Amino acid sequence: MSDMGNLLKGGDILYILNINLAAEFTDKYRYHMASTQNDRTFKKGSFIFIEGDEDTGSVFLVKKGRVTHVCNSPRLSSALQDAGEGDFFGFISAFSGRPRLSSAMAVEDTVAVQIDSERLFRMLGDKTAIAMKIMHSYSHSLQKYDNVLMGIKPISLLYPQSMSLLRLGEYYMENGNKLLADYIFNRYIQLFPDSDNLSDAEQYICDMEGPIKPAEVSETEKGELIYSDGAVIFCEYEPGDNLYFVEEGRVKITKQNKNRDMLLAVLGKGEIFGELALLTDSPRSATAVSFGGARITPVDMDMFRRLLPESPDLIRKIITSISHRLWFNHVRLSQMSYRKPVTRLFAFLETKLMEDGVSLGRKTPHQLQFGLDELIEMNELSAAEYMDEINELVSSHYLSFNFGTITVLNPKEFAAEVQMYKQRDRLSFLKRRTGVGREPVLPVDEQGSEEQYTASPDILEVYEEPPESIDNEVTEIIPELNSEDPMKRAEAVLKLGNLGEKAKASVPMLRERLGDNVKVIRKNAVRSILNILPPGESFRVFSEALGEENTEIRSAAAGGLGEINVAEKSGIMALLIKTLQDKSPMVRSSAVRSLGSLGPDAESAVPRLIRLLYDTDVSVRMLAVNSLERISGHTGYINEVMEAVKNVSKNDADRFVKNSAKEALVRLKRKKKQK
């Protein structure tokens, strides 16, 4: 099965396609919405809306009955779940203003409340806690969509975050973008000064230093940042502590994927970016660069929380922005899920029409700003291998191909042709799954009359072989933990982590892998232990490991303490502060990084971290700067931290530590202003 097939079959796609926000609303609040809106009754078999409908100004709340969802892609249809009593549906299209992503059909007599999206936005303006939960849920869903589209696995065996950042810098260096490469390598050194590849990043910077003219970045009295053309705002894989408002100018958002740059968006005045990393507390998923110059306002999480009650428009902007991206990603994923290359080509062009805001009911021509060669490349096809499919596309009566452009002569007729290809693709899928075709079912509206739409086939239930017993799985995997092949060890570590608590018996062996001679295996052993054990037991394992003679084990354990997700962190903090005195720089570095990950909760560690600004080890000093920046700005130590970091920026013997301190000082001053 292809990577896409595996991803579509996996649990992630189920999560992505079923953003159930009912849990974010209390029963009382749902009752209030239901009591202030008009009920609509749908008989069994009738449609609430149809995939592709452009009238999308409403969301629905099921009061009674059940609603199922189907879409043109049978594999995506099989992942969609029903909406029952108390569930909402129709959010993404309603909030984005785009056509419906699926058809919603009553599978039994159903009463649903139709809620105008404008009214819902006003309600959210009064309920900022609920709005925050929705934005958080949406952001995580969007992140998973992006991972599926880019073929990203949850944990990479070969490319952890540090290596991904280094490889990104190498990519831009090799492609001549030295300004962006220089930014990335400097960020790599700041973020991962204890990396095994530190000397590589330093050498790359030395090799590029001559011809590079740094981009200009300045700050206004209001705290706005002014970037000259080409200046990097942030890059993929670095931490995201702010979202940004574009006050003036333009910002280009790109993503590197499969040895090419993908242009995701060019944003202008009034638009927001960077919200995904802030809301999910995850690394940046794309790179943002000033495009012709830009003036932007950074907003950290504290300021964001303060702004929400004062600015209902901010809630609307962010939810609408994320909804747009969710909508586009769903459509792209749907297009990618078709098995036949010719169907994917036709569906891709239809997707591009919708992305350009063209109604599929329009009859006048629309020109797409790319040619046939670009179309083939964007769909990762070989012209020589798929010549028959390409000729079939070119022979369409509704397309005109010119150098660098493709014109859709009649979008309405072209959409009907695309639908035919999708149905043909669907029939081949059904025959493979069932051996037979299925007759379409015509829906019935509230009065029992036939509608003009054809219902999609029932959702198919795909039979899968039941897994072997978990004990047998664990027994088979454990021997690989001691394999001489590091790839086999790494794979075994991840497999056990994915089994969760069922693999509890393997924890002692995973603990041994904390001392593996391969760094990525040590890190993944930490994550697997955290996936298998509850927080309290994970804390016990890591605290005991800090007493080991093996330096790698102590370092991995210190790193693991920073990843334990508990509300009360005083015990973790006390242990990490004690570990700051470890004789090994590697262990001290891990403890410093973990304290930084705790953010303002680690306030009591600030005096100890200030002392480490003068540690004999460069990595420890660099990480101490980073962690003090993350912890401070919200605490009473802000002035002491700024003074200490300022001293490092002037006097440290290492130029990279000095540069890191200078940049941290700028951000600390900004935090102090916002406070």
Q: Is the dihedral of CA 167, 170, 171, 177 positive or negative?
A: positive
Question: Domain for residue 109, yes or no?
Answer: yes
Specify whether 233 is located in the same domain as 274.
Answer: yes
**CA atoms of 584 and 571, how far apart (whole Å):** 22
Specify whether 308 is located in the same domain as 395.
Answer: no
Which range marks the domain in which residue 608 is found? 576-675
Give the pLDDT score at 630. Answer: 87
If one counts the domains in the chain, the total is: 4
Specify whether 646 is located in the same domain as 615.
Answer: yes
Q: Residue 398: which CATH number?
A: 1.10.10
**CA atoms of 246 and 296, how far apart (whole Å):** 5
Give the closest residue to 148 by CA, choosing from 265, 277, 284, 5. 5
Question: Domain for residue 142, yes or no?
Answer: no
The answer, as to whether pTM is greater than 0.75, is: no
Specify whether 348 is located in the same domain as 213.
Answer: no
> How confident is the prediction for the chain on average, in pLDDT?
81
Q: Which residues contact 138 (CB under 8 A, 6 or more apart)?
A: 19, 319, 322, 323, 326
Specify whether 267 is located in the same domain as 375.
Answer: no
Question: Domain for residue 519, yes or no?
Answer: no
Specify whether 282 is located in the same domain as 171.
Answer: yes
Res 301 pLDDT > 90? no
Question: Domain for residue 549, yes or no?
Answer: no
Specify whether 283 is located in the same domain as 347.
Answer: no
Res 461 pLDDT > 50? no
Q: Looking at per-residue confidence, does 341 or 23 come out higher?
A: 341
Specify whether 9 is located in the same domain as 50.
Answer: yes
CA angle 577, 512, 11 (to 5 degrees): 90
**CA atoms of 396 and 323, how far apart (whole Å):** 33
Residue at 559: amino acid letter: G
Q: Where are the beta strands (DSSP E) in 259-373?
A: 261-267, 272-273, 287-300, 366-368
**CA atoms of 664 and 642, how far apart (whole Å):** 9
Sheet holding 399-402, edge to edge: 366-368, 405-408, 399-402
Q: Residue 599: which CATH number?
A: 1.25.10.10
Q: Residue 29: which CATH number?
A: 2.60.120.10
Last residue of a domain, one of 434, 467, 488: 434
Question: Domain for residue 357, yes or no?
Answer: yes
Q: How many CA atoms does the CB half-sphere of 135 hold within 13 Å?
A: 28
Q: How many CB atoms lie within 10 A of CB 213?
A: 8
Specify whether 249 is located in the same domain as 342.
Answer: no
* Bridge partner residues of 263 (DSSP): 254
Question: Domain for residue 146, yes or no?
Answer: no
The per-residue pLDDT for range 625-639, each reduced to its tens digit, is: 999 988 886 557 888
Specify whether 345 is located in the same domain as 224.
Answer: no
The per-residue pLDDT for range 390-447, each reduced to its tens digit, is: 999 999 999 999 988 999 999 999 999 998 998 888 776 555 544 544 444 333 333 3
**CA dist 323 → 88, 171, 284, 400 (Å):** 15, 31, 18, 32
The least confident of 19-23, 143-147, 443-447 is: 443-447
Last residue of a domain, one of 374, 405, 434: 434
Specify whether 244 is located in the same domain as 300.
Answer: yes
Question: Domain for residue 483, yes or no?
Answer: no
**CA atoms of 77 and 437, how far apart (whole Å):** 16
The per-residue pLDDT for range 501-511, each reduced to its tens digit, is: 889 999 999 99
The proportion of the chain whose per-residue pLDDT surpasses 70, expressed as a percent, equals 82
Confidence of residue 210 (pLDDT cuts 50, 70, 90): low
Specify whether 171 is located in the same domain as 283.
Answer: yes
Question: Domain for residue 634, yes or no?
Answer: yes
Confidence of residue 229 (pLDDT cuts 50, 70, 90): very high
Give the pLDDT score at 280. Answer: 80
